Structure 1
Amino acid sequence: MTGPPLTDLSERAREIFRRVVEGYLASGQPVGSKSLAGEGALNLSPASIRSVLADLERQGLLAAPHTSAGRLPTESGLRLFVDGMMQVSEPTASERAMIERQMSGGGPIEEALEKTSAVLSDLSGAAGMVMVPAREARVAQMSLMPLGPGRVLAVLVGEDGGIENRVLALPGGVTSSALEQAANYITARLAGRTLNEAAQAINNEIASGKSALDTASRDLVSRGLAVWSEDAAQRPILIVRGQAKLLDEEALGDLDRVRQLLDDLENKQSVAELLDRARDAQSARIFIGSENRLFALSGSSVIAAPYRDGQGKVVGVLGVIGPTRLNYARLVPMIDFTARSLGKIIG
């Protein structure tokens, strides 16, 4: 249901609506006419406030839970609030320092992404998410180490310090000298190239008969390269941290919703597709409840922002997911700042 434009609300209705939304986002609880009247700033009786609340409910901006006489914002109401009334609060100096400190330290890009998702979770009290940049790392070295009869450990080291391991099944009779020859051959041709670039060059060289490898070593080279390309599509493209923070005291009273949300988060491909919708945004985007199909049943909100490399190219998206009562005013600028900080790290 789409609510009325903000200009259709009287000044009194806008003020009461704003206080209800802000009260709900702060406490997670419905806000009643008595508490609004008790604040004193409205100079209205509880009866007058109840009349305005009823009008706002009829317009689809507020709802009254069965268990409470108070009101809380609907998804349409939250959208109206974040688009037209929300006043953001920039991260404090200590929050900015904490973000930069926790994300620093060097190391592989995967480590920076892990730290970023963790700091987002810590600061938001929700789950932090970072979509891994779609890029091919350049390779520094490959090693092949025997594990026992018929098995060898292939270790791929990237220029960024990342390490990946795979176990290969070997035909019988492969010697240690063949392993060493194959590893040296691959490393000599991998260095400074992406895996696809190196694989193409090596396969062309072998096909043309220019390589000095024996049959056993050629087989090892082919197996060593193929094991990475075979599972490339299945590699994780999303890092999620802080799911346990979604199980707060209020959530325990609505376990079905939380269970649905945790199930949705397991579908990383769909979550990544949702985050990808924020790639073209200039700053953080907010997806509230049923506005995103994936989290419609759990009634959750997502705040996401793209992060860019040193050339300004978007390489990924980060954000948080939690209940619709997220502190949007605080989190939107914080997520934007985190995106800029991550961009500086990945260069």
Structure 2
Amino acid sequence: MTPPFPELSDRARDIFRLVVQSYLDSGTPVGSKTLAGLPGLNLSPASIRGVMQDLEEAGLLAAPHTSAGRMPTETGLRLFVDGMMHAVAPSEQERAAIHAGASARGPVEEAIAATTAALSGLSACAGLVLVPKREPRLRQFSFVGLGGDRALAVLVGEDGSVENRVIDLPPGLAPGALEAAANFLSAHTVGQTLSDVRRRIAGEIAAERAALDDATRALVERGIAVMSEDGDRRPVLIVRGQANLIDPRAAADLERVRGLLDELEGKEEIARLLDSAREGAAARIFIGSENKLFALSGSSVIAQPVRALDGQVVGVVGVIGPTRLNYARVVPMVDFTAATLARLLA
């Protein structure tokens, strides 16, 4: 819930905006002399200090040290983001980079990862994409003998993805059983998902409609089982660009970054955070302690639902970075990436 903000005079609003913008650009507190030197303000450093003191008392600015300038608090950043920020649309080059990622050849997961990496590089944040579990439609299911009592089960998807698992062969396997099992599976896999294949073949075997001997039937069941056993554990969260969270200019931030990287390892919690943004009509912005997950690391998350043409949410895309990230530039960039991924995931 957005907290109530104090009413600001035009002068206070102008100074506050300049403090925030200067801080987001430099990452360092801003002093009254710096602001007095900016064009268009026409105020003395003393006058500016008085206004900044008022803004500090209102909880919008803070001074990290007695002699330092001011920087926005999380409350101040929320005021800026919600009521003062002027969004900057992605440039043609930035849009092209995101499109290039989404156009990557190969399985759709690789294109999603490339798009996430592009967003990370452009935003100088870590890129996050939460996508639903996807089962590609299958093109081929085969077995390759490895000698002895083992074989390689190979699954090829229509999207070009390839998965393989080593399986133990059932005893009593007749010559030609690998080929027979592969032919049987291929006949039942084309155009189907693995879940569809599992249900269909199990039904046929149970009804004894499959013309297979016991050993070959066991091989078919074993091949389907080993390919399905980790389906529920397939990752649905893609994270790229964690190195962007390390700012070489801010050595004092190393402890914050170390904590943040530890938090990124807890993918389940991050997935839950991103999932909370699914119902939003636009980007949802979590600033610092507004979200318990990143309260200690002083980080912000921008998350945007990815909607198909029919309005259905098919994923969530976002970035995570320091609270001083360039919201005006990054929020529209996340929005553009969401629209690009919507076409990819449709």
Q: Give the TM-score of the pair, scaled to structure 2.
A: 0.94
1:322 aligns with 2:336: no
Instruction: Please name the residue that 1:120 is paired with.
Output: 119
Partner Cα separation in structure 2 for residue 2 and residue 136 of structure 1: 39
CA drift at 1:101: 2.8
1:39-58 per-residue CA deviation (whole Å, 9 max, x = no partner) reads: 14322222222222122112
CA drift at 1:192: 1.4
CA drift at 1:155: 1.4
Instruction: Please name the residue that 1:204 is paired with.
Output: 203
Give the 3-state SS of the residue equivalent to 2:59 in structure 1. Answer: coil
Give the 3-state SS of the residue equivalent to 1:254 in structure 2. Answer: helix
CA drift at 1:333: 1.0
1:309-336 per-residue CA deviation (whole Å, 9 max, x = no partner) reads: 3444221111111111111101111111
Contact 1:146 1:152 in 2 (8 A): yes
Q: Which amino acid aligns with 1:266?
A: E
CA drift at 1:169: 2.8
Instruction: Please name the residue that 2:268 is paired with.
Output: 269
Contact 1:28 1:325 in 2 (8 A): yes
Instruction: Please name the residue that 1:158 is paired with.
Output: 157
Provide closer, same or farther for how the CA distance between residues 282 and 178 of structure 1 changes in structure 2, counting only shifts above 3 A.
Answer: same
Contact 1:186 1:221 in 2 (8 A): yes
CA drift at 1:206: 0.8
Instruction: Please name the residue that 2:131 is paired with.
Output: 132
Give the 3-state SS of the residue equivalent to 1:334 in structure 2. Answer: helix
CA drift at 1:4: 4.4
Which deviates more from structure 2 when the two are superposed, residues 127-136 or residues 189-198? 127-136
1:155-180 per-residue CA deviation (whole Å, 9 max, x = no partner) reads: 11112222222222334554562222
Instruction: Please name the residue that 2:27 is paired with.
Output: 28
Contact 1:4 1:59 in 2 (8 A): no
Instruction: Please name the residue that 1:333 is paired with.
Output: 332
Provide closer, same or farther for how the CA distance between residues 297 and 151 of structure 1 changes in structure 2, counting only shifts above 3 A.
Answer: farther
1:223-257 per-residue CA deviation (whole Å, 9 max, x = no partner) reads: 11112332122111111111111112134322111
Q: Which amino acid aligns with 2:167?
A: L
CA drift at 1:89: 0.8
Partner Cα separation in structure 2 for residue 69 and residue 44 of structure 1: 19
Instruction: Please name the residue that 2:140 is paired with.
Output: 141
Provide closer, same or farther for how the CA distance between residues 204 and 67 of structure 1 changes in structure 2, counting only shifts above 3 A.
Answer: farther
Q: Give the TM-score of the pair, scaled to structure 1.
A: 0.93
Q: Which amino acid aligns with 1:83?
A: D
Instruction: Please name the residue that 1:230 is paired with.
Output: 229
Contact 1:144 1:180 in 2 (8 A): yes
1:242 aligns with 2:241: yes
Contact 2:263 2:293 in 1 (8 A): yes
Partner Cα separation in structure 2 for residue 33 and residue 150 of structure 1: 78
Give the 3-state SS of the residue equivalent to 1:219 in structure 2. Answer: helix
Q: Structure 2: where are the runs of 5+ without partners?
A: none
Q: Which amino acid aligns with 1:66?
A: H
CA drift at 1:211: 1.1
Provide closer, same or farther for how the CA distance between residues 154 and 26 of structure 1 changes in structure 2, counting only shifts above 3 A.
Answer: same
CA drift at 1:283: 2.2
Give the 3-state SS of the residue equivalent to 2:43 in structure 1. Answer: coil
Q: Which amino acid aligns with 1:82?
A: V
Partner Cα separation in structure 2 for residue 307 and residue 59 of structure 1: 37
Provide closer, same or farther for how the CA distance between residues 22 and 175 of structure 1 changes in structure 2, counting only shifts above 3 A.
Answer: farther
Instruction: Please name the residue that 2:5 is paired with.
Output: 5
Which deviates more from structure 2 when the two are superposed, residues 222-231 or residues 114-123? 222-231
Alignment length (residue pairs):
346
1:288-319 per-residue CA deviation (whole Å, 9 max, x = no partner) reads: 11122211111111111122334442211111
Q: Structure 1: where are the runs of 5+ without partners?
A: none
Instruction: Please name the residue that 1:167 is paired with.
Output: 166
Identity between Structure 1 and Structure 2 (%): 62
Which deviates more from structure 2 when the two are superposed, residues 162-171 or residues 72-81? 162-171
Give the 3-state SS of the residue equivalent to 1:317 in structure 2. Answer: strand
